[in-house]
């Protein structure tokens, strides 16, 4: 009986095992092959994506090269410091690198030039320039200025040509920029010297014609204001009774608006924060290239702001070898007087 039962169990287990899946060596190799094929498929897909990306980069590079060649062709091979592109709304979309940080640098991408806070055109030029752009016309030597990252005023010249797509639709401008700061500085220095020579000639004529001191002072102020194009001119003279330098003649501001400056009883510097007093007492010229940044003049900043003074030069005037008055020339521009002019 027991033998019969054990035999039945054997047959039952045998039948059960016959129905289980078999894992031969061939099956394991097949599974490994499937996995390798899956891995290879993933590698192929990644390679294909990389190839597509490389192709897209190649096409983009070729397009940039084509635009560059088109730019050079359109602009006639003009010398340039950097290149730029705008879209159909005149917003900057590309600016090449340049060694100096100018107002027109990558942070302005996406903006029109006239929206940039630190970029200025010549008087009335922006309106005329925008009319040219809206008419999709080429332009040459449009000049504008702004501050670089150091705060120095710089000038740039822009040349541009319109771009149209295959359907003839306007798509923006391509162009070049040139740093003309050195040229503008040289032109301005030359113009200042020309104006100064004209003013000095007028002063010499006044000296020959003047019949008294006040007439000479007034003619000198008029010559420097009218010929030299300086904003404010004044001559102060010492009043020995009150020991003050008082204004005797002026142009650009009325005499009544000018300060008096106190001198000590023994000629010492009673007002040490006045370059006019410094010039009178020490008998030599004094210059403030940036008046509102000169902390020695802090006491006079409010009046300078009110009068629009940004730089100032004070020069002592002599009579018989003694200082008798001080000529002061003020400008609304900083660094208005260079060494040659002084």
Rounded average pLDDT over 83-102: 80
- Kindly list the distances between the CA atom of residue 308 and the CA atoms of 157, 335, 342, in Å, as whole numbers in the listed order: 29, 14, 21
pLDDT bin (cut points 50, 70, 90) of residue 146 is: confident
Q: Quick one: tokens of 143?
A: 């000049």
Helix pair angle (181-209, 213-226), 10° resolution: 160
User: pLDDT at residue 74 above 70?
Assistant: no
Q: Given a cut of 70, is residue 4 above it in pLDDT?
A: no
Rounded-to-integer distance, Cα 101 and Cα 69, Å? 25
- The Cβ-side half-sphere exposure at 225, using a 13 Å CA radius, reads 19
Check pLDDT > 60 for residue 243.
yes
Walk me through the domains of the chain, giving residue ranges and CATH numbers.
71-179 (3.30.450.20), 189-331 (3.30.450.40)
Contacts of 331 (CB under 8 A, 6+ apart): 230, 231, 232, 309, 310, 311, 312, 337
Q: Pick the more confident residue, 114 or 14.
A: 114
Instruction: Give the separation between CA 231 and CA 147, rounded to whole angstroms.
Output: 23
pLDDT at 171: 93
Cβ contact 96:82 at 8 Å: yes
User: Does 158 have pLDDT greater than 80?
Assistant: yes
Backbone φ, ψ for residue 310 (5° rounding)? -115, -25
Q: What is the pLDDT of residues 275-303, one digit of tens each?
A: 888 888 888 888 888 888 888 888 888 88
As given in the structure block, the two tokens for residue 84 are 């730029």
In tens, the pLDDT along 17-57 reads 455 455 555 566 667 667 777 767 777 777 777 677 767 76
127 pLDDT band (50/70/90 cuts)?
A: confident
pLDDT band at 13 (very low <50, low <70, confident <90, very high): very low
Q: Under 8 Å CB-to-CB from 35, ≥6 apart: which residues?
A: none
Residues in the chain: 342
pLDDT at residue 167 tops 60: yes
Question: Residue 258's pLDDT is what?
Answer: 66
Distance in angstroms between the alpha carbons of the first and the last residue of the chain = 135
The rounded distance, in Å, linking the Cα atoms of 243 and 27 is 117
Confidence check: pLDDT of 239 > 60: yes
Task: Name all contacts of 277-284 with Cβ < 8 Å and 24+ positions apart.
Answer: 277/245, 278/314, 279/314, 279/315, 279/316, 279/326, 280/236, 280/238, 280/245, 280/316, 280/323, 280/325, 280/326, 283/316, 283/318, 283/323, 284/316
What mean pLDDT is reported for the chain? 76
Percent of the chain clearing pLDDT 70 (strictly above) = 68
Lowest mean pLDDT among 41-45, 203-207, 216-220, 306-310: 41-45
pLDDT score at 262: 58
């Amino acid at each position: 009986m027991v033998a019969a039962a054990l035999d039945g169990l054997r047959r039952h287990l045998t039948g059960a095992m016959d129905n289980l899946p078999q894992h031969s060596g061939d099956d394991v190799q097949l599974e490994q092959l499937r996995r390798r094929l899956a891995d290879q498929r993933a590698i192929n897909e990644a390679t294909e994506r990389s190839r597509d990306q490389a192709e897209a980069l190649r096409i983009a590079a070729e397009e940039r090269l084509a635009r560059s060649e088109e730019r050079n062709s359109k602009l006639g091979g003009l010398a340039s410091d950097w290149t730029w592109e705008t879209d159909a709304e005149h917003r900057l979309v590309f600016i090449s690198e340049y060694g100096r940080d100018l107002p027109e640098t990558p942070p302005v991408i996406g903006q029109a030039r006239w929206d940039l806070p630190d970029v200025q055109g010549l008087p009335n030029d922006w309106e005329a320039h925008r009319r040219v752009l809206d008419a999709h016309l080429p332009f040459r030597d449009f000049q504008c200025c702004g501050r670089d990252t150091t705060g120095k005023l710089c000038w740039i010249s822009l040349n541009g040509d319109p771009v149209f797509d295959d359907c003839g639709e306007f798509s923006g401008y391509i162009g070049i920029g040139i740093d003309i700061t050195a040229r503008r500085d040289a032109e301005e220095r030359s113009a200042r010297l020309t104006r100064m020579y004209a003013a000095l000639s007028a002063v010499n004529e006044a000296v020959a014609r003047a019949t008294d001191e006040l007439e000479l002072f007034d003619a000198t102020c008029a010559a420097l204001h009218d010929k030299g194009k300086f904003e404010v001119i004044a001559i102060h003279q010492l009043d020995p009774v009150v020991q003050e330098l008082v204004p005797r003649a002026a142009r650009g501001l009325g005499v009544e608006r000018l300060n008096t400056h106190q001198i000590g009883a023994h000629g010492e510097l009673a007002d040490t924060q006045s370059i006019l007093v410094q010039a009178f007492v020490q008998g030599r010229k004094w210059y403030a290239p940036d008046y509102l940044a000169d902390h020695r003049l802090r006491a006079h900043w409010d009046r300078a702001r009110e009068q629009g003074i940004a730089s100032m030069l004070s020069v002592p005037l002599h009579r018989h070898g003694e200082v008798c008055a001080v000529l002061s020339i003020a400008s609304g521009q900083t660094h208005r007087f260079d060494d040659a002019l002084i």
